C-alpha cells in the first residue's frame, strides 16, 4: 500500500515508469547489464536504480541477475594458480633473458 501511494504521488501507474524523469520498464530491463557492470554514467545509473526501487515487476529481474553474477564470481573465488605452476614459471623466467 505504501509503495502504491509513493508511485501514485510520483505519477506512476503500477509497473509503468512514465513520470517526468522515470524510465520505462523496457528501458530499465534493456540497460540492466550495463547498470550491473558499472558502465553507465551516474545520471543513467540513478534513473535505472530509481526504476528498480519502485517497480515491483522489474525488481525481481535485477535480483535474479545479481544472483547469477554472484554465482559466477563464487565459482572462481578460491581459484589460484597451483604453487607448482608458480615455481616452474619462476624457474623458467630465471633462465630467460629479455
Partner 1 sequence: MDAPESGKVSFQEEALPHLDAVYRFALRLAGSPDAAEDLVQETFLRGFRAWDQYTPGTQCKSWLFTICRNVFLRQRERGQRHDEIVQKNVASGGGISGTGVSVVNPVWQASQDLDPEGEFFSSIVDAEILEAIDGLPEEYRTAVVLSDLEGLPYAEIAELMEVPVGTVKSRLFRGRRQLQQKLYEYAVEQGYISPERQDVAG
* Positions in 12-41 near partner 1 (CB under 8 A): 26, 29-30, 33-34, 37-39
CA 2 to chain CA centroid, Å, is 26
Gyration radius (Cα) of the chain, Å: 22
CB-based contact 19:9 (threshold 8 Å) = no
Question: C-alpha grid cell for residue 87?
Answer: 615455481
Residue span 35-74 as binding mask against partner 1, x where in contact by CB under 8 A, dash where not: --xxx--------------------xx-xxxxxxxxxxxx
Contacts with partner 1 by CB under 8 A lie at 26, 29-30, 33-34, 37-39, 60-61, 63-76, 79-82, 85-86, 88-89, 92-93, 96-98
Amino acid at each position: 500500500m505504501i509503495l502504491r501511494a509513493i508511485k501514485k504521488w510520483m505519477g506512476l501507474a503500477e509497473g509503468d515508469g512514465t513520470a517526468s524523469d522515470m524510465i520505462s520498464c523496457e528501458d530499465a530491463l534493456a540497460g540492466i547489464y550495463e547498470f550491473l557492470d558499472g558502465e553507465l554514467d551516474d545520471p543513467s545509473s540513478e534513473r535505472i536504480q530509481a526504476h528498480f526501487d519502485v517497480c515491483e515487476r522489474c525488481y525481481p529481474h535485477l535480483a535474479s541477475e545479481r544472483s547469477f553474477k554472484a554465482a559466477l564470481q563464487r565459482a572462481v573465488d578460491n581459484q589460484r594458480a597451483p604453487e607448482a605452476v608458480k615455481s616452474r614459471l619462476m624457474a623458467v623466467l630465471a633462465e630467460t633473458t629479455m
